[in-house]
Amino acid sequence: MTESKTVEFNRRVPVRHDVDVFVAGGGPAGVAAAVAAARQGASVFLAEGEISLGGTGTSGGVAMFCVFTDGVNFVADGVGRMIYDRVFECGGASPASHRGDRSVFFKPEVLKRVYDELLADEGVSYALATHVIGLQAEDGRVSHVVCSGKSGLYAVRAGTYVDATGDGDLCVWAGARYEKGDAHGLMQPGTYVSLWSGVDWERAEAEGFGVWKQDGRLKDAIADGALSVPDPSMPGILPTSSQSGHGVIGHLFGVDGTDERSLTEAAIHGRKTIGEYESYYKTYLKGYENLELIAMAARLGIRETRRITGDYVLTEDDYWNRATFDDEIGRYCYGIDMHARTLEEAATASESFDNSWLPKGESYGIPYRTLTPAGLQNVLVAGRCISVDQKVLASVRVMPGCFITGQAAGVAAAMTAEEKTDIRGIDVKELRTRLADFGAYLPNVT
């Protein structure tokens, strides 16, 4: 008798929440979507798989907000400004950051509380340690999502759903098309972030090994055989307190954030090689002689997975042309922060990563159509899995970019539920007006 390789799994589960807007994922895009939807008067329920909100910036330990401004305008305005201000007000900014900085180093443990308080202030209902594991959908319309928590399985029914998973899980399960990587499927590498103490930041800076300069002797270490993976690119340790920092060190090439087997392999590899980087800092650089590893992050830092195909795909040409759109829901400006996709690419690149920037005061528009997955009726997408090409993903994927697309998805979701229409049935002019009133940077809204 041949053993079956599949099993049928059917369950009847209770509908625990019935809301206007359901948000899958509590990272920066999900938080922004939930806050914005609640501000519009919508009832909201958010499900987050980790035990804290914030995603890569908290559980992942990436303790730096990339740019909020284009050097002139605060482009990540609205939810982004709320968070920027609260981080400084509650002592969550690193001593290395100051009000007015385009980018901000922060303390992840404080940011967790900032997000908690922000959702509480807006009356958003949410559950942590809760994974979305499936859905019911027909003809592009989702009727329920199924969540798994410690208490068991349950369903949520909503008028509109926001996919802020970072990987586009909800959209894909509902039948959306997507792209992943380049023409050969190659994606940007991940990084397993670490927490370190014992850093003499003043001496490190004086010796030329401060922030963004910690790869100064990597070539020597590679030549000496000190690193088992000869990766010449290493962003380094970010100063989050007076003597410690979070290390965004090295790359995990080939990791696929949509495959738990790949994530497992990458995590094991990251833990195995972190000791080599500790030795590098202590042996080759000044100011790190007393460096001590405190912890590894609760999750891997993943830069890229799926990009959901929407009604419009924002391209690199749009980026360089500083494109504007009639349905623009925000503008952003971060450089094309494209990390080498393979070790071979990293070894031959003139720079460790492509980080092409627009001039000061300039930005590119993000149309609403990048948030509307082709073929879906009541699902919006926000965050790093919106409808863009790989180069624009490398710009918009960072936290302030996620605040922009998240808040737009939240306002649009609330309007969709309020008007009992689909995601294409709302008045985009009204959406832009509401976003501008909310604080979004939309210079062409009158």
Provide the pLDDT for residue 94: 96
Residue 445 lies in a domain: no
Do residues 65 and 106 make contact, with C-beta atoms less than 8 angstroms apart? Answer: yes
Do residues 320 and 337 make contact, with C-beta atoms less than 8 angstroms apart? Answer: no
pLDDT tens by residue, 5-20:
899 889 999 999 999 9
**DSSP result, 180-195:** ESSTT-----BB--EE
163: CB partners within 8 A, 6+ apart: 24, 25, 169, 170, 171, 308, 373, 379, 380, 381, 382, 385
Tokens 């914030």, located at residue = 54
178 and 251 together in one domain: no
126: CB partners within 8 A, 6+ apart: 26, 34, 45, 46, 47, 48, 53, 119
438 pLDDT above the threshold of 80: yes
146 and 273 together in one domain: no
pLDDT tens by residue, 35-76:
999 999 999 999 999 999 999 999 999 999 999 999 999 999
31 and 163 together in one domain: yes
268 and 311 together in one domain: no
Confidence grade of residue 444 (pLDDT, cut at 50, 70, 90) = confident
409: left (phi over 0), alpha (psi -120 to 50) or beta: alpha
250 and 125 together in one domain: no
Nearest to 96 by CA among 87, 88, 105: 105
Nearest to 79 by CA among 38, 24, 25, 32: 32
77 and 141 together in one domain: yes
173 and 211 together in one domain: no
Nearest to 172 by CA among 316, 315, 379: 379
Buried b / exposed e along 22-58 (16+ C-beta atoms within 10 A)? bbbbbbbbbbbbbbbbbbbebbbbbbbbbebbbbbbb
For the chain, helix (H) and strand (E) counts, in that order, are 12, 19
Residue 230 lies in a domain: yes
113 pLDDT above the threshold of 90: yes
pLDDT tens by residue, 150-160:
999 999 999 99
Confidence grade of residue 1 (pLDDT, cut at 50, 70, 90) = low
Residue 387 lies in a domain: yes
290 and 312 together in one domain: no
Provide the pLDDT for residue 285: 98
Structural domain count of the chain: 2
Which sign does the torsion angle of CA 346, 347, 349, 353 carry? positive
129 and 268 together in one domain: no
Residue 345 lies in a domain: no
Instruction: Give the mean model confidence (pLDDT) for residues 281-305.
Output: 97
Residue 160 lies in a domain: yes
What's CA 82's distance to the chain center, in Å? 18
β-strand partners of 22: 45, 161
Provide the pLDDT for residue 352: 45
pLDDT tens by residue, 181-225:
999 999 999 999 999 999 999 999 999 999 999 999 999 999 999
Enter the tokens of residue 428: 């985009």
Mean pLDDT of the chain: 96
157 and 38 together in one domain: yes
Confidence grade of residue 233 (pLDDT, cut at 50, 70, 90) = confident
Provide the pLDDT for residue 272: 95
Quote the domain boundaries for residue 292.
194-296
Range with the poorest average pLDDT among 68-82, 156-170, 276-290, 352-366: 352-366
Residue 9 lies in a domain: no
353 pLDDT above the threshold of 70: no
58 and 147 together in one domain: yes
Q: What is the CATH number of the domain that holds 412?
A: 3.50.50.60
Instruction: Give the mean model confidence (pLDDT) for residues 118-142.
Output: 98
- pTM confidence score: 0.96
Residue 7 lies in a domain: no
The β-bridge relationship of strands 125-127 and 353-356 is unpaired
Enter the tokens of residue 354: 């492509």
314 and 413 together in one domain: yes
Residue 6 lies in a domain: no
Provide the pLDDT for residue 57: 97
pLDDT tens by residue, 393-422:
999 999 999 999 999 999 999 999 999 999
